[in-house]
Amino acid sequence: MLGLLLLNQNNATELTISISFILIGIGLSPCYMIPMAMLSFVTEVDVLLSKERRTGVYAGAMSSVRKVSQGLIVLPLIGLILQMIGYNPHLAYQSASTLSSLRYVFIFVPIILILIGIYFSTRFKITPKNFEIIKDEISRLEKGGSKAEVNQEVKIVCEDLTGTKYENLYKKVK
C-alpha cells in the first residue's frame, strides 16, 4: 500500500502503477491464503472433538462468512469512507485534499488491519509442532489406540487446543 505514495497526477507512469498493483496483490493475498491454511488446523481439532471430518462444512461456512462480510460490511464501509473524505463520483478530477486522504486511507487502514491480524495470530495456539501431535494422536486413535495409553504431552496439547478434557475427546457427536 505504500506504493500508492508514488502515485499522483504528475508522476504516475505505467511502471509505478504496475509496481503499486503488484504490491497491493502481495498485500491482499494473505487475506485469502491464511484462512485457507488455517482450515486444515481447525478441522483436525474438530476431529478430536467430534470424531468426524467436516472439512466441507468449515470451508462452506468460511466462504459464506467472507462473502457476507464483504457484501454487508466492507463495501458499505468503503462508500462511507469515500463520502467522509469528500470523494465526488460526478467530478472529472478530485480535489487535492480528497486524493491525499484517499492515499492515506489506502496506506494506514491496511497497516492498522495488519497489526490487528498480527496481534490475533500471536494468540493462535496451533503451531506446526502441536499440529503434528494432534494429527499423530488422531491417527493413533483411528487405528484403535487406547485413550488410557496417551502420552502426557499429547494429552496436554489436545486439552489445550480443544478446551476439553482428554477423556471427552474423540467421541461421536450425538
pLDDT (tens digit per residue) in 95-105: 999 999 998 99
Domain count, the chain: 2
On whether residue 145 sits in a domain, the answer given is yes
Q: What is the DSSP letter of 144?
A: T
| Same domain? 48 vs 74 | yes
| Same domain? 70 vs 148 | no
Q: Residue 3: pLDDT band by 50, 70, 90 thresholds?
A: low
> CB neighbours of 147 closer than 8 A, spacing ≥ 6?
141, 166, 167, 169, 170
User: What's the average model confidence in pLDDT over 143-153?
Assistant: 94
Q: pLDDT averaged over the chain?
A: 87
| Same domain? 72 vs 149 | no
On whether residue 150 sits in a domain, the answer given is yes
Q: Residue 9: pLDDT band by 50, 70, 90 thresholds?
A: low
pLDDT at 58 over 90: yes
What is the pLDDT, as a whole number, of residue 131?
Answer: 94
Grid coordinates in use for 51? 470424531
**The last residue of a domain, from among 101, 124, 147:** 124
On whether residue 45 sits in a domain, the answer given is yes
- For residues 12 and 82, the model is more confident at 82
pLDDT at 4 over 80: no
Structural domain harbouring 159: 125-174
Taking only the tens place, the pLDDT of each residue in 86-139 is 999 999 999 999 999 998 998 898 889 888 988 988 888 888 999 999 999 999
Nearest CA to 9 out of 124, 121, 81, 99 is that of: 99
| Same domain? 130 vs 80 | no
Q: Give CA–CA dist 48/165, Å, rounded.
A: 11
| Same domain? 53 vs 106 | yes
| Same domain? 158 vs 98 | no
User: What's the average model confidence in pLDDT over 23-48?
Assistant: 86
The percentage of residues in the chain with a pLDDT greater than 90, rounded to a whole number, is 53
pLDDT at 28 over 70: yes
| Same domain? 147 vs 98 | no
| Same domain? 96 vs 158 | no
pLDDT at 6 over 70: no
What is the pLDDT, as a whole number, of residue 7?
Answer: 56
| Same domain? 83 vs 133 | no
On whether residue 60 sits in a domain, the answer given is yes
> CB neighbours of 166 closer than 8 A, spacing ≥ 6?
147, 150, 155, 158, 159
On whether residue 116 sits in a domain, the answer given is yes
| Same domain? 65 vs 139 | no
